[in-house]
C-alpha cells in the first residue's frame, strides 16, 4: 500500500509512517509508580510511544473491527495507531494507519484530538516488519447508490469486507436482503450460526453480511460466516471464565420437549434439561419460553463428549428456592387456588405457587363417595380450590384436600367407633307415658347413632 496523504497541509508518504525507528526519550514526567507517560498534547511523542509497544501476533482481515487511538488530525486524513487489545481480546501487533476525514462529520472532526479513541473497520492491511499498515473505514462498507453498487460488491467479495443490508422478506430457500442499490439472498443455513430463530426475529433488521458468491445480479450473502469469526475470537476467553457454579446470562436458541438449548455467547451452547428449566412444572416448555429470550442460568457441568465440550446449565438453580419463602396463605386449614399439574394412580399433584406442588391424595378427593381413580374428579390443567392439610418444610411436602368442612364432618361421623368410645347424644323424654318404656326407646335410639 503506497499513497500520499495530506497531514496539516503537507504531503506525507504513507509507507514512511511505518518504518521501524527507536523510540525517543520523552520528558513528560513519571506516573504514580514511576512509569513514563506519553504526552497526549504532543502528537509526535504519542505516536512514537505507541510504536514502542510490544504486541502478540494475529493477522488482520478486511472487515475486522478494531480499537485505535488518534495520533494526528490532518486536513484530509486522520492518522491512528492501534491499542494493545481489540474488543475481542486479540492483539494484532503494532497498528498504524490512516482513515479519511470524509468518514466524519464536521462536528466529529472538531471533537477529535490526539489520544481520542475510535472504533474502525479494516479496509486493507499489510504487514511491514514489526508494523501492520492499516487503511480504515468508519463503518463496514455497504453498497451506496445504484451506479456504484456492482463495483462495491465486487470489492467486498474480493476483500471479504462486510456489507450492511436490511432483511426485507422470506422466500422458499432463505431471506431477501436490500443492499441500498442491490438485492441479496441469504440461505436459511447462513442467517445464523446457531439454531435458526423465527422469521420475525430477522425481517426488518439490519445486519452485516459477507458476500460469498457474486454471479451477475445473483448476490449470495452469509451472516453466519461473520458470526463464526466473531465467536472464534471470543470463545477462548469465554471458556476461560466459565466454571461449574457460575451464574451467567444466556439466550434461548431452541426449545425441545426434553429441554432448552441456550447460547452462552461466542457460539458456546448449553443444554438446560426440562427438570432444570424452572421450579414450576405447570406448563410445557414451549408455552413458558420463547426463542431469543434472555435468561439467567447456572453452569452445572462442563465435560468432554465425543470430542466436543458438553455444557449443562440450570435456570431453576439460578433462582431462589421457593421453599425458602412459602407464602403465608399456604398454611394448614387455609384454602388455596391451585392447578393440577400431574396425575398419578394414588392422586394428583397441585401447584399452589411456582415450585410448590402439593399432593392431593385420592382419599382426599371426596367425603361423599368412594373415589377409585383420580381422573374421576380432576384432570391435568384443571383449576381447583383445595384446603391445606399439612406443610412439612423439612421434607418439602404439602398435603391438600378437596373435601370441604361439611364433608369432613360426615366422613368423621361415618368412621366405625370402638365400643368403649363415648358418643355424645341427646335424649328427649316425653312428660307423659310409661317412663320405663320411654327410657328404653331413647337409649335404643341413642345407641343406633
The residue with cell 475510535 is: 118
- Angstrom distances, CA of residue 211 to CA of 136, 149, 173, 188, 447: 19, 13, 17, 15, 97
Q: SS3 for the chain, per residue?
A: CCCEEEECCEEEEHHHHHCCCCCCCCCCCECCCCCECCCCCCHHHHHHHHHCCCCCCCCCCCCCEEEEEEEEECCCEEEEEECCCCCCCCCCCEEEEEEEHHHCCHHHHHHCCCCCEEEEEEEEEEEECCEEEEEEECCCCCCCCCCCHHHHHHHHHHHCCCEEEEEEEECCCEEEEECCCCEEEEEHHHCCCCCCCCHHHCCCCEEEEEEEEEECCEEEEECHHHHHHHHHHHHHHHHHHCCCCCEEEEEEEEEECCEEEEEEECCEEEEEEHHHCCCCCCCCHHHHCCCCCEEEEEEEEEEEECCEEEEEEECCCCCCCHHHCCCCCCCCCCEEEEEEEEEECCEEEEEEECCEEEEEEHHHCCCCCCCCCHHHCCCCCCEEEEEEEEEECCCCEEEEECCCHHHHHHHHHHCCCCCCCCCCCCCCCCCCCCHHHHHHHHHHHHHHC
Mean pLDDT over the full length of the chain: 76
Task: Check residue 67 and give its pLDDT.
Answer: 81
Length of the chain: 449
Alpha carbon of residue 103 to chain centroid: 34
Q: What phi and psi, each to the nearest 5 degrees, are found at residue 99?
A: -140, 140
Which three three-digit cell numbers place residue 85?
Answer: 487489545
4-137: which CATH topology?
OB fold (Dihydrolipoamide Acetyltransferase, E2P) (2.40.50)
Q: Given a cut of 80, is residue 228 above it in pLDDT?
A: yes
Q: Which pLDDT belongs to residue 164? A: 85
Q: b/e for 7-22, b at 16 or more Cβ within 10 A?
A: beeeebebeebbeeee
Q: pTM of the full predicted structure?
A: 0.44
Give me the pLDDT at residue 33, please: 47
Higher pLDDT, residue 335 or 427: 335
Using one digit for the tens of pLDDT, what is the confidence trace for 184-212? 999 999 998 877 888 999 999 999 899 99
Q: What integer pLDDT is reported at residue 319 of this predicted model?
A: 86
Q: Please tell me the predicted confidence (pLDDT) of residue 204.
A: 92
The answer to whether the CB of 45 falls within 8 A of the CB of 26 is: yes
pLDDT score of 56 more than 50: no
Whether residue 95 contacts residue 84, with contact meaning beta carbons closer than 8 Å, is answered with no
Instruction: Report whether 403 contacts 367 (CB < 8 A).
Output: yes
Q: Flag whether pLDDT at 84 surpasses 50.
A: no
Strongest mean pLDDT among 25-39, 133-147, 180-194? 180-194
Q: What's residue 43's pLDDT? A: 43
Q: Quick check: 343 pLDDT over 70?
A: yes
**Where does the chain hold its CATH 2.40.50.140 domain(s)?**
4-137, 149-226, 242-314, 327-414
Integer Cα distance of 39 and 268 in angstroms? 42
326: which 3 cell numbers? 412459602
pLDDT of residue 423: 58
436/77: higher pLDDT: 77
Top-ranked range on mean pLDDT: pick from 18-32, 62-76, 354-368: 354-368
Q: Which CATH architecture has domain 149-226?
A: Beta Barrel (2.40)
- 95-122 pLDDT tens trace: 788 888 887 888 888 888 888 888 887 7
**343 vs 420: which has the higher pLDDT:** 343
Kindly indicate the confidence band of residue 440, based on its pLDDT and cuts at 50, 70 and 90.
Answer: low
What percent of the chain clears pLDDT 90, i.e. is strictly above it? Answer: 25
Residue 134: name the closest of 97, 173, 163 by CA.
97
| Strand pairing report for 77-82 and 94-100 | antiparallel
Instruction: Give the model's pLDDT for residue 144.
Output: 41
* pLDDT: which is higher, 289 or 446: 289
pLDDT at 286: 87
Looking at residue 134, its pLDDT comes to 78
Convert the pLDDT of each residue in 401-418 to its tens digit.
998 754 555 555 556 666
Which pLDDT tens digit goes with each residue over 385-398?
999 999 999 998 99
Which residue did the predictor score with more confidence, 280 or 22?
A: 280
% of the chain exceeding 70 in pLDDT: 68
Top-ranked range on mean pLDDT: pick from 54-58, 59-63, 285-289: 285-289
Across 139-168, b (16+ Cβ under 10 Å) vs e yields ebbbbeeeeebbebbebbbebbbbbbbebe
CA distance 363 to 353: 23
d(CA 355, CA 361): 19
Q: What would the CATH number be for the domain defined by 242-314?
A: 2.40.50.140
- Is residue 273 predicted with pLDDT exceeding 90? yes
pLDDT on residue 362 = 92
pLDDT 10s digits, 230-259: 777 677 778 888 899 999 999 998 999 899
CA neighbor of 65 nearest in space, from 122, 23, 105: 122
What value does the mean pLDDT take over residues 213-227?
Answer: 87
The Cα 315–Cα 278 span in angstroms is 6
- What does the pLDDT read at residue 153? 81
What is the CATH class of 327-414? mainly beta
Contact 421, 413 (CB under 8 A): no
Q: Is the pLDDT of residue 125 over 70?
A: yes
Amino acid at each position: 500500500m503506497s499513497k500520499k496523504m495530506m497531514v496539516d497541509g503537507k504531503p506525507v508518504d504513507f509507507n514512511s509512517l511505518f518504518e521501524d525507528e527507536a523510540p525517543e526519550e520523552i520528558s513528560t514526567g513519571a506516573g504514580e509508580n514511576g512509569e513514563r507517560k506519553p504526552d497526549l498534547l504532543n502528537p509526535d511523542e504519542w505516536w512514537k510511544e505507541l510504536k514502542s509497544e510490544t504486541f502478540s501476533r494475529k493477522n488482520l482481515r478486511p472487515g475486522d473491527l478494531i480499537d485505535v487511538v488518534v495520533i494526528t488530525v490532518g486536513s484530509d486524513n486522520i492518522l491512528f495507531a492501534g491499542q494493545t487489545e481489540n474488543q475481542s481480546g486479540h492483539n494484532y501487533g503494532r497498528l498504524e494507519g490512516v482513515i479519511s476525514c470524509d468518514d466524519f462529520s464536521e462536528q466529529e472532526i472538531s471533537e477529535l484530538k490526539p489520544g481520542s479513541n475510535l472504533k474502525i473497520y479494516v479496509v486493507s492491511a499489510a504487514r511491514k516488519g514489526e508494523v501492520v499498515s492499516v487503511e480504515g473505514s468508519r463503518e463496514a462498507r455497504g453498497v451506496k447508490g445504484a451506479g456504484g453498487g456492482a463495483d462495491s460488491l465486487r470489492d467486498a467479495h474480493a476483500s471479504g469486507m462486510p456489507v450492511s443490508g436490511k432483511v426485507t422478506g422470506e422466500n422458499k430457500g432463505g431471506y431477501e436482503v436490500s443492499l441500498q442499490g442491490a438485492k441479496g439472498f441469504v440461505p436459511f443455513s447462513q442467517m445464523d450460526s446457531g439454531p435458526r430463530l423465527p422469521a420475525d426475529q430477522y425481517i426488518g433488521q439490519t445486519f452485516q453480511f459477507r458476500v460469498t458468491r457474486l454471479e451477475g445480479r445473483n448476490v449470495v450473502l452469509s451472516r453466519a460466516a461473520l458470526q463464526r469469526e466473531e465467536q472464534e475470537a471470543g470463545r477462548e476467553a469465554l471458556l476461560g471464565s466459565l466454571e461449574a457454579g457460575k451464574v451467567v446470562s444466556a439466550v434461548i436458541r431452541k426449545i425441545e420437549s426434553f429441554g432448552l438449548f441456550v447460547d452462552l455467547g461466542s457460539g458456546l451452547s448449553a443444554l438446560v434439561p426440562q427438570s432444570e428449566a424452572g421450579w414450576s412444572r405447570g406448563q410445557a416448555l414451549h408455552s413458558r419460553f420463547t426463542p431469543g429470550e434472555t435468561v439467567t442460568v447456572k453452569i452445572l457441568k462442563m465435560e468432554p463428549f465425543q470430542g466436543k465440550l458438553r455444557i449443562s446449565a440450570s435456570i431453576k438453580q439460578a433462582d431462589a428456592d421457593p421453599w425458602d419463602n412459602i407464602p403465608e396463605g399456604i398454611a394448614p386449614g387455609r384454602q388455596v387456588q391451585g392447578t393440577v399439574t400431574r396425575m398419578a394412580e394414588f392422586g394428583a399433584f397441585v401447584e399452589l405457587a411456582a415450585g410448590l406442588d402439593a399432593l392431593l391424595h385420592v382419599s382426599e378427593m371426596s367425603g361423599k363417595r368412594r373415589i377409585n381413580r383420580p381422573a374421576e374428579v380432576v384432570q391435568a390443567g384443571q383449576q381447583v380450590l383445595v384446603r391445606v392439610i399439612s406443610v412439612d418444610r423439612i421434607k418439602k411436602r404439602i398435603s391438600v384436600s378437596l373435601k370441604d368442612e361439611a364433608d369432613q364432618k360426615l366422613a368423621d361421623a361415618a368412621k366405625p367407633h370402638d365400643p368403649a368410645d363415648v358418643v355424645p347424644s341427646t335424649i328427649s323424654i316425653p312428660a307423659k307415658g310409661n317412663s320405663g318404656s320411654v327410657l328404653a326407646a331413647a337409649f335404643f335410639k341413642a345407641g343406633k347413632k
